[in-house]
Structure 1
Amino acid sequence: MAQTWEERAKEKREAILAAIPQEWRIRNPPNDEQVDVTGNFIQQFLTKREIEITETTADEIVRYTVSGRWSAEEVTRAFCHRAALAHQLTNCLHEIFFDAAINDAKAADAYFSQHKKPLGPLHGLPVSLKDQFHVRGVETTMGYVGWIGTFEGRTGTGKEKRFESEMVRELRASGAILYCKTAVPHTLMAGETINNIIGYTWNPKNRNLAAGGSSGGEGALIGLRGSPVGLGTDIGASIRAPSSFNGLYGLRPSTGRLPYEGMANSMDGQNSVLSVVGPMATSVASLRLITKAILAQKPWLHDPLVHELPWRYEQEREILELTGAIGDASKVGKLSFGILWSDGHVSPQPPVRRALHIVVSALQSQGHEVIDWTPPSHKDLVDGIMEAFTFDGGADIRGAFSLSGEKPSDQVAFFAQPGKEFSASEIAATNVRLRQLRKNYTDYWNSTVKLTTTGRPVDALICPVAPFPAARPKGYLYYGYTGFVNVLDYTSVALPVTNVDKTVDVADDGYQPINGLDKTVQELYDPDIYDGAHVGVQLVGRRLQEEKILALAEYIGKILGK
């Protein structure tokens, strides 16, 4: 008798747990008994040495491994242990391959011992991967029960557990150690992470809330320091939301900067608004480290959609000089930022508004200027991205669910509904409209030169990542603050700012909602439920400005004391 989808999901879920050594198993207290499982809570299960290693940033870890101070094996074992704990507390992993990782780490140590040099710029660094990356020896289910035991839902391809994504090849060539793949919402089309295999992925800082999505497993894992740096993807919010929700930095690069070749995906072939790969970590230095290492592999030689753009230090240097980090005092100057307090459709909840004010005040205290951002309608951009996501009338997603007969979660049910399939001419018309919207926004950005005192248009835009610090379950109701960036293909970094304080971030009882959706979003805010949650903001630059925006994000983090 054939297994039901529920039985297949249970079997896979138990197999994930079985990959965790018995000595690393713990009791997971109910969410309401232990809301915050970060810091002291997870540390109680670790040795002092493991805590030291796992709470070191990726750039510092590499400094120690390439010098021989720390062995790759010791570092890898420590992160495997902490990742195992993180999964038991938040449901953040889809694939565990600790044994293979430890063997790779031993090989890296042997190479270092024999050749007296590292394998590459990421020598011995554990790197976690969202479950869209294909890694030999393990599956890629992307949260679909029907993908278990297959290659993207197909059998007999010869690629099952053999094929590797281009990014994986480049990470290995750089000396990275791969050890786990992280949870995603089935379909990838949700700001919360939930699927029928592992269930719901919780926010480790506040387990009343979502870890975000669709790179939510990465967010929870790194938030618990079970990974020093991980790679997610972003087509609407999927790096920035989990990063912000978990107190992390996350880079959404422009398309064509980092390789996407050989990735699993939903709606493959929808090219109007493309998904991108980007890093997530606890520091900007860690984001820079992995981005530079990947670019050093010349990915444009292996992925035809990657631009031939090596790391451009001159972009970074300009910001470092203006902020006084390098060079002489004569080059120190003023920066100019736009601030989007509200997009006019859904306003930020009180903690997010406070985070925006914190960043603005910090920049102004350093002599920089901040001007109100009044761009062309973001609603038009968000309507455009939603149109692109439904070009096929939901056929791809329904097909993936039909492989097993499983039911979609409420969070993604909209994308599985039968809808109108767009014709070629209708898709072309959408693309023309999106192109004009991009041109309008470019013109607006250029026009801000008339408002600044620097002689330049604004250097970057500051805005919310979402109207809430993190989503409550089934409460990620608005993607407008991130989706517009994807349509414009701008570079963006999410950065941590503060934490919700229920004594300060009180609900605004006199608030007059803009519309029905805004009213619902504001009513979802409860200071008692949100207390302690991370609050971040988003820094947005123009296309292909990764070096510049990372430098600006690091500067803002520094003046915020992060």
Structure 2
Amino acid sequence: MSDWRSIAAKKKSEQDALIPNEWRLVSIPSPSEIDVSRIPETCGLLDAIELEITNSDVDVLLESIAKGRWTSVAVTSAFYKRAIIAHQVTNCLTEIFIERALKRAAELDEHLATTGTVIGPLHGLPISLKDQINIKGLESCMGYVSWVGTFAERNAVLTDILESAGAVPFVKTNVPQTLMWPETFNHVFGRTLNPHNRSLTSGGSSGGEGSLVAMRGSPLGVGSDIGGSVRIPAGFCGIYGLRPSYGRVPYAGCVNSLEGQDSAPSVLGPLTNSIYGIKTFMKAVAGARPWLKDPLAVRKRWSEDEYNLADHGGGNKLCFAIMWDDGIVVPHPPITRGMEIVKKALLNAVIDWKPSKHAEILTCLRNIWQAGAQEDFQVVTSPSGEPVISSMDPEDNTPVTDILDARATKATVSAYQLWQIQKQKRNLREEYLQLWEDTVKTTGTGRAVDAIIAPVAANTAIAHGKNRSASYTSVWNMLDYSSLVIPVSKVDPELDLVKAPHKFYNEDDKANYERYNPVDFMNAPISIQLVGRTLEEEAVIAMGEIVDAALKSHH
């Protein structure tokens, strides 16, 4: 291969050439203009109808298309234009394929006009996909220079399911090289910025989706989550995001890092601007019987009983547990204020959650990932010679240890050693199940706690290169708990003042405390995650609706 820099530059140039001139911003905001979330409203490129379409949530869009108020072509065109605007100020996209998407939308409009019926539950809805989700004939380089020029020979199973449900895949979105980062930067497409404050990260690894959906450049996106990669961008960008349990959403046919590591695998999940969008996505996917198309998909239909909280007293007298901190790093003041807002808004019983062995759980998870991560990254990058990124800090070119420690020199463990780690994981899951069950003694409902309310991270969106921990999300990955992110508020320097130092758990906790200055986090969204048990997606969505409604009523 030729020099990796020239390959990357050529791919980026080809991407830019796909942007229609009439969709280009007349002037790009200066770097000092940190909040670009309103640019689509003010730039003059979108007319009144296009703004109405793109400011509508999934329920309104689906109903309007089905009833003929808007065509799929009109909706797809409006979101495509807004996505391109979002990309010009946040760098959120990878693959752009306008003609193909509009052709698909026109076919759906023709079907509706001819038959009077929709194709499926997502009829006419544009959907964005994280770069790793294959679309036949398009690239999924996943931020690797080595994979530029490799075109998918078939759709991912999820792409087929979404299309069969009537969706219109229309853009793919940016990721960090290797995916194993809570930020978004790679050598091919560069860095994705947070639309609420471009000096802050959009999170990762689904950072492109986070920024795009937050700017309403997509009504519904799909990301992946191995340690928080759906929830961190959702939390940092102020949108809704769901981490389902292993196998609930089919993964077959995607490109990925750490393939073959099946002990704590990545899962696919939706990001959108309403819980309705989350529910609609999960119902559509489960309704397509994905276990007949992906052998690792769980055989579990959408359950209205579970959505109606049959296992949670029918939704009467719910009891939530709030985890104020994880015993490793105490959250910044805005995060704590967000949790307090939720507690005040809820009419339900609330108790405190005492986390157990979170540091041990996280160490176990890292050991599973690290077992072959370094070799995995080297195998993929060696054909192009591109360096494995060791820091996301734009001002730091020296190799540093990242959140995984996986880029540091590390001997591969033996199969037997890996089995011992996996056995430890099983034991920790058993202990946590018992911890949850034991709360029946304190809830007052006759049931164990219905769900845990926890921070998404110890900080809101933070400066580029500084988000090196995913401890508040990764713990639920290893336990395989379903988790939904719900936006709450935004950082307010007048409310979110620096607090007096607490007794620090460790050096990381001290460093996190010292990093907080409210002015640096201006306008950053504050979010929480609602955590249920394994394969409890329906109940988590239903309880999420209760929390979300309480927050909206409280505000």
Give, in whole Å, the separation in 2 of the partners of 1:10 and 1:16. 10
Number of the residue aligned with 2:332: 349
Number of the residue aligned with 1:8: 7
Q: Which runs of structure 2 are paired with 1:464-483 in the superposition (5 Å)?
A: 464-483=455-474
Q: Which amino acid aligns with 2:38?
A: G
Q: CA deviation at 1:14?
A: 1.2
Alignment check: 8 A CA contact 1:105 1:124 kept:
yes
Number of the residue aligned with 1:21: 20
Give, in whole Å, the separation in 1 of the partners of 2:130 and 2:147. 16
> CA 1:513 to 1:263, structure 2 compared with 1: closer, same or farther past 3 Å?
same
Q: How many residues align?
A: 540
SS at match of 2:485: strand
> CA 1:321 to 1:406, structure 2 compared with 1: closer, same or farther past 3 Å?
closer
Alignment of 1:421 onto 2:412: yes
Give, in whole Å, the separation in 2 of the partners of 1:19 and 1:246. 26
Q: Which amino acid aligns with 2:332?
A: Q
Alignment of 1:435 onto 2:426: yes
SS at match of 2:475: helix
Question: Residue 318 of structure 2: which of 311, 335, 345 is its match?
Answer: 335
Number of the residue aligned with 1:397: 377
Number of the residue aligned with 2:116: 116
Moved more, 384-393 or 71-80: 384-393
Q: Which amino acid aligns with 1:437?
A: L
Q: CA deviation at 1:510?
A: 3.2
Give, in whole Å, the separation in 1 of the partners of 2:95 and 2:298. 31
Give, in whole Å, the separation in 2 of the partners of 1:170 and 1:356. 37
Alignment check: 8 A CA contact 1:475 1:524 kept:
no
Q: Which amino acid aligns with 2:78?
A: A
Alignment check: 8 A CA contact 2:484 2:531 kept:
yes
Number of the residue aligned with 2:61: 61
Q: CA deviation at 1:320?
A: 12
Alignment of 1:388 onto 2:368: yes
Indicate the RMSD between aligned Cα atoms, in angstroms.
1.6
Q: Which runs of structure 2 are paired with 1:489-528 in the superposition (5 Å)?
A: 489-528=480-519
CA deviations 1:387-423 (Å, max 9, x no partner) are: 0111115101112222211123314864333311111
Number of the residue aligned with 2:215: 224
Q: Which runs of structure 2 are paired with 1:189-338 in the superposition (5 Å)?
A: 189-318=180-309, 333-338=316-321
Q: CA deviation at 1:471?
A: 2.6
Alignment check: 8 A CA contact 1:375 1:444 kept:
no
Number of the residue aligned with 1:154: none
> CA 1:437 to 1:181, structure 2 compared with 1: closer, same or farther past 3 Å?
same
Question: Residue 358 of structure 1: which of 320, 336, 341 is its match?
Answer: 341
> CA 1:393 to 1:123, structure 2 compared with 1: closer, same or farther past 3 Å?
closer
CA deviations 1:247-299 (Å, max 9, x no partner) are: 11101000111101111110100111011011010000001111111111110
Q: Which runs of structure 2 are paired with 1:163-178 in the superposition (5 Å)?
A: 163-178=154-169
Give, in whole Å, the separation in 1 of the partners of 2:490 and 2:166. 36
Alignment check: 8 A CA contact 1:375 1:441 kept:
no
Number of the residue aligned with 1:453: 444
Give, in whole Å, the separation in 1 of the partners of 2:55 and 2:13. 29
Give, in whole Å, the separation in 2 of the partners of 1:248 and 1:507. 26
Give, in whole Å, the separation in 2 of the partners of 1:490 and 1:82. 34
SS at match of 2:438: helix
User: Structure 2 unaligned runs (5+)?
Assistant: 393-400
CA deviations 1:116-146 (Å, max 9, x no partner) are: 1111111100000001111022100000011
Give, in whole Å, the separation in 2 of the partners of 1:279 and 1:534. 19
Give, in whole Å, the separation in 2 of the partners of 1:415 and 1:403. 20
Q: Which amino acid aligns with 1:66?
A: A
Q: CA deviation at 1:374?
A: 1.2
Give, in whole Å, the separation in 2 of the partners of 1:510 and 1:375. 22
Alignment check: 8 A CA contact 1:184 1:195 kept:
yes
CA deviations 1:38-70 (Å, max 9, x no partner) are: 135644332111110011111221111112221
Give, in whole Å, the separation in 2 of the partners of 1:141 and 1:172. 22
Q: Which amino acid aligns with 1:175?
A: G
SS at match of 2:108: helix
Give, in whole Å, the separation in 2 of the partners of 1:375 and 1:537. 16
Alignment check: 8 A CA contact 1:320 1:551 kept:
no
Alignment check: 8 A CA contact 2:312 2:450 kept:
no
Q: CA deviation at 1:477?
A: 2.4
Q: CA deviation at 1:472?
A: 1.7
Alignment check: 8 A CA contact 1:201 1:216 kept:
yes
Q: Which runs of structure 2 are paired with 1:15-164 in the superposition (5 Å)?
A: 15-26=14-25, 27-32=27-32, 34-39=33-38, 42-44=41-43, 45-150=45-150, 160-164=151-155
Q: Which amino acid aligns with 1:133?
A: I
Give, in whole Å, the separation in 2 of the partners of 1:40 and 1:556. 30
Q: CA deviation at 1:375?
A: 3.2
Q: CA deviation at 1:207?
A: 0.7
SS at match of 1:141: coil
Alignment check: 8 A CA contact 2:41 2:51 kept:
no
Number of the residue aligned with 1:184: 175
Runs of 4+ in structure 1 deviating by more than 6 angstroms, as ranges, are: 319-322
Q: Which amino acid aligns with 1:51?
A: L
User: Structure 1 unaligned runs (5+)?
Assistant: 151-159, 323-330
Give, in whole Å, the separation in 1 of the partners of 2:60 and 2:280. 10
Alignment check: 8 A CA contact 1:123 1:174 kept:
yes
Number of the residue aligned with 1:326: none
State the identity %.
39
Give, in whole Å, the separation in 2 of the partners of 1:113 and 1:162. 32
CA deviations 1:188-234 (Å, max 9, x no partner) are: 00000000111110000111100010000000000100000000000
Alignment check: 8 A CA contact 2:308 2:315 kept:
no
Give, in whole Å, the separation in 2 of the partners of 1:61 and 1:4. 46
Give, in whole Å, the separation in 2 of the partners of 1:43 and 1:402. 45
Alignment check: 8 A CA contact 2:40 2:85 kept:
no
Q: Which amino acid aligns with 2:133?
A: F
TM-score, normalised on structure 1? 0.94
TM-score, normalised on structure 2? 0.95
Give, in whole Å, the separation in 1 of the partners of 2:67 and 2:526. 36
Give, in whole Å, the separation in 1 of the partners of 2:324 and 2:173. 33
Give, in whole Å, the separation in 2 of the partners of 1:87 and 1:481. 29
